[in-house]
Amino acid sequence: MNIGPWQLIIIALVILVLFGRGRISEMMGDFGKGIKSFKKGM
């Protein structure tokens, strides 16, 4: 199955609608903190 750019845009829009912009930025911040602590632990 080939995923093109239009499918990615549609998926991103659906995720934006489901979670809202604030929740997505919060999740990205948590993800960044997790990566930073993982690198620090190595």
Q: How far is CA 5 from CA 12, 16, 20, in A?
A: 11, 16, 22
Calculate ∠ Cα 21-19-34, nearest 5°.
Answer: 80
Give the model confidence (pLDDT) of 18-35 as tens digits: 777 677 778 788 888 988
Check pLDDT > 80 for residue 36. Answer: yes
- pTM for this model (two decimals): 0.44
